Structure 1
């Protein structure tokens, strides 16, 4: 039996129009994985699991808020594991963005903007894969970020200067 967020992920990815062939291939791979794994949205799924991320941009759309991930040691967009009570991917991404940025009043895109699959050793403590569904999130005017315990640092970056790990955000500027 699947969870509501699993069913939502299937619906979202089935309807999503990928911007290019690479993103289309990842979309098909994620849909196949979801079809094979009822637990694909749970972090306990050791072979890999969906995650929900958010590229948080300022009100002007000129800068993105990145976190210095303490375990990975790189600047990344906000986001993380889907929780059992997250009803949708979109709500999981918004929850993660709000928790990790400390910013209230964030608004999130209706559909994902990017997909990615990458190897990682996450909270399970064993090598796995994150099947990342990424949304665009806007901060309200004058938003001030507050670092959470999940981050070594938070910083606003001009979109043209994003690290390669979040280079997809350059296309949003």
Structure 2
């Protein structure tokens, strides 16, 4: 199975968990994109491409780990482009979360993606069609900043809305509901 095939399967099975409306519309947008673009999971797809991300969460302490993205200068979840070694979207999300957080032993929350988020990016690519997961941090998690970040910091749940945009707040809310 290719990464493209996995992405189609993940999206066909994605359930918006009481979030119908916009999430269902995004699911169809993603599937239409993949149907029209066999390269739709790769950064080279100029019409936009699938990305994978994961919110690193420590439920026992009521906190999440966010990265201050070097290029965007925003506090975000860990994530990015799919790479040739990624067998699945879940693998891509977990790889990105581990690389960017420096936390070994992360595990994805069971049940597949938590939410979908489509956002514009500068040309030539135009769109990121992000498939967002949640990654549970082990109790002894120690973060280590990567080259892609300006900073890396744990935030209490109630602090996230003050530092991050609406998409991260929505991801946290849906992750907490999934827990």
Look up the match of 2:137. 139
Look up the match of 2:169. 167
Among 11, 14, 26, the residue aligned to 2:12: 14
C-alpha offsets along residues 86-143 of structure 1, whole Å, 9 cap, x if unaligned? Answer: 100000000000000111100002300010100113xxx6352100000010010020
Look up the match of 2:118. 117
Cα-Cα RMSD:
1.5
Deviation at 1:161, TM superposition (A): 2.2
Provide the TM-score with structure 2 as the length reference: 0.89
Unaligned runs of 5+ in 1: none
- Structure 1 residues 36 and 127, CA gap change in structure 2 (3 angstroms): closer
Provide the TM-score with structure 1 as the length reference: 0.92
Look up the match of 1:156. 154
Deviation at 1:58, TM superposition (A): 1.4
Deviation at 1:59, TM superposition (A): 4.9
Unaligned runs of 5+ in 2: none
Are 2:65 and 1:62 aligned? no
Secondary structure class of the residue paired with 1:97: helix
Aligned length: 168
Deviation at 1:172, TM superposition (A): 3.0
Q: Which runs of 4+ in 1 moved over 6 A?
A: none
| Separation (CA, whole Å) in 2 of partners of 1:6 and 1:148 | 28
